[in-house]
Amino acid sequence: MIVTLTLNPSLDRTLELQTLRLGEVLRATSARIDPGGKGVNVTRVLRAFAVDSHAVIPCAGPDGEELVRLLQKAGVPVTEVPVAGWTRSNITLVEADGRATKVNAPGGALTETEVALLAETVVDRCVSQSTENGGASWAVLSGSLPPGVPDDVYASLTSLFAEHGVKVAVDTSGAALLAAVDAGPDLVKPNRQELAAAVGTPLVSLDDVVAAAEKLRSRGVKAVVASLGSDGAVLVDETGAVFGTAEAIDPVSTVGAGDALLAGFLAAGARGADALIEGMAWARAAVGLPGSQMPGPRDVSREGIRVVRDPGGKPAGAVPLADNG
Ligand SMILES: Nc1ncnc2c1ncn2[C@@H]1O[C@H](COP(=O)(O)OP(=O)(O)O)[C@@H](O)[C@H]1O
Ligand SMILES: O=P(O)(O)OC[C@H]1O[C@](O)(COP(=O)(O)O)[C@@H](O)[C@@H]1O
């Protein structure tokens, strides 16, 4: 069982336009709404692949109810914890040439009591399910923190879940990621910008990525999956570094690609080259779908995804990164 906690879920609204011109009234050519937020997407894609997963989210106001309705309609298992604030909408503007501009709202504040209730719900789910299935569960702590929530919340939750024998994956950024790292989660999934910010240096080559991941591991993280956009992904754990590459496709929407990568990696056992390939295959499929639409088995191909310990026979440091995000 993989239980996801999204403290700041969203309605993902995607508007297509000819050209984004600032300061003007623009008419969208199409509009779509998807349930969103990083953990929500992880559960959505896992369920599409018939992997046992459950999303835990705060639910506030009419937009929160709409989010829960969309998830239930899609058959996504969700436990919503009623909270007093509001549920945000995140907006992606997609131009005719495929360029996407994202605006993520801050989200409604959560109180300490509300966060504690959400955490308790995750623990209950993980513990009851792992007893039933006889296996350890994963808790996935994903996304930005809404106002009112302290930066060390994922760190505290990592320690709490570890006490219950639950493995923890964290996908967040900034101060929340830095604090979580020190609590020793089993896995973190930063993208290139998030990893660079966490170590305070730009990452221009695969060597830089591995060094940055090792820095996080030296602080307590067990494994790092660094996602590098069209440059692929790198897994760094106690066995060393594994590099995954694939020919880049023209993106329809990159929203949710990182969530699909994490989900596929966990679904395939969260270890080694095969899990990295699975994650990259799910992520590539997400990139080929509009808005925050998540792929299912029929969208995914593993063809052309190459995984090596020494990329292209070159020293790792000689491989520059091309995708500037
Ligand atoms: N243009 C692309 N072609 C093929 N795969 C891609 C492309 N862009 C992203 N991916 C895949 O999606 C994964 C996640 O993308 P990335 O942008 O790094 O994550 P995030 O959405 O978290 O910022 C990458 O590691 C890669 O496997
Ligand atoms: O919590 P944040 O960092 O604001 O991100 C939320 C957004 O990220 C997404 O989960 C997509 O994430 P990725 O593109 O990183 O996979 C959207 O559904 C959501 O709108």
In a domain, 206, yes or no: yes
Q: Is the CB of 14 under 6 A from ligand 2?
A: no
The pLDDT of residue 125 is 86
Q: What mean pLDDT is predicted for residues 179-201?
A: 97
Distance 104 CA to ligand 2 centre (A): 8
The complex scores an ipTM of: 0.98
Residues in contact with 140: Cβ distance below 8 Å, sequence separation at least 6, in sequence order = 2, 3, 4, 5, 39, 42, 168, 169, 170, 171, 262, 266
Residues in contact with 92: Cβ distance below 8 Å, sequence separation at least 6, in sequence order = 12, 13, 14, 15, 100, 101, 102, 103, 253, 255, 291, 292
168-187 pLDDT, tens digit each: 999 999 999 999 999 999 99
Place of tokens 């909408």: 89
Q: Is the CB of 94 under 6 A from ligand 2?
A: no
Q: What is the CATH number of the domain that holds 180?
A: 3.40.1190.20
The pLDDT of residue 98 is 85
pLDDT of 315 above 60: no
Nearest-5° Cα angle at 222, 217 to 224? 70
Place of tokens 């020190």: 182
Q: Is the CB of 264 under 6 A from ligand 2?
A: no
Q: What mean pLDDT is predicted for residues 275-298?
A: 96
pLDDT of 303 above 70: yes
pLDDT of 267 above 90: yes
In a domain, 95, yes or no: yes
Distance 231 CA to ligand 1 centre (A): 8
Q: Is the CB of 10 under 6 A from ligand 2?
A: yes
Q: Is the CB of 8 under 6 A from ligand 2?
A: yes
Distance 27 CA to ligand 2 centre (A): 25
The pLDDT of residue 289 is 95
Number of domains in the chain: 1
Q: Which domain holds residue 250?
A: 2-318
HEC secondary structure over the chain? CEEEECCCCEEEEEEECCCCCCCCCCCCCEEEEEEECHHHHHHHHHHHCCCCEEEEEEECHHHHHHHHHHHHHCCCCEEEEECCCCCEEEEEEECCCCCEEEECCCCCCCCHHHHHHHHHHHHHHHHHHHHHHCCCCEEEEECCCCCCCCCCHHHHHHHHHHHCCCEEEEECCHHHHHHHHCCCCCEECCEHHHHHHHHCCCCCEHHHHHHHHHHHHHCCCCEEEEECHHHCEEEEECCEEEEEECCCCCCCCCCCHHHHHHHHHHHCCCCHHHHHHHHHHHHHHHHCCCCCCCCCHHHCCCCCCEEECCHHHCCHHHCECCCCC
User: pLDDT band at residue 126, thresholds of 50, 70 and 90?
Assistant: confident
Q: What is the CA radius of gyration of the chain?
A: 19
pLDDT of 314 above 90: no
Can you give the length of the chain in residues?
325
In a domain, 324, yes or no: no
In a domain, 197, yes or no: yes
pLDDT of 136 above 80: no
Q: Is the CB of 259 under 6 A from ligand 2?
A: yes
pLDDT of 313 above 80: no
Task: For residue 192, give the ligand 1 atom closest to its CA.
Answer: 18
Residue from 104, 225, 261 to probe ligand 2 pocket by mutation (most atoms less than 8 Å from CB)? 104
The pLDDT of residue 149 is 96
Percentage, residues of the chain above pLDDT 70: 94
The pLDDT of residue 137 is 87
Whole-Å CA distances, 224 to 59, 122, 239, 242, 312 = 31, 23, 12, 11, 21
The pLDDT of residue 129 is 66
pLDDT of 319 above 90: no
21-53 pLDDT, tens digit each: 999 999 999 999 999 999 999 999 999 999 999
At 319, the amino acid letter reads V
Distance of CA 315 to the CA centre of its chain: 30
Whole-Å CA distances, 117 to 50, 79, 80, 208 = 28, 12, 11, 40
Catalytic residues: 259
In a domain, 283, yes or no: yes
Instruction: Extract the tokens encoding 247.
Output: 């020919």
| Phi-psi map region of 236: left, alpha, beta (phi>0 left; psi -120 to 50 alpha) | beta
Distance 282 CA to ligand 1 centre (A): 10
Question: Looking at the DSSP assignment, which residues form a beta bridge with residue 308?
Answer: 243
Tell me the pLDDT of the chain averaged across its residues. Answer: 93
In a domain, 286, yes or no: yes
Residue from 193, 228, 323 to probe ligand 1 pocket by mutation (most atoms less than 8 Å from CB)? 228
Distance 318 CA to ligand 2 centre (A): 31
Task: For residue 256, give the ligand 2 atom closest to its CA.
Answer: 16
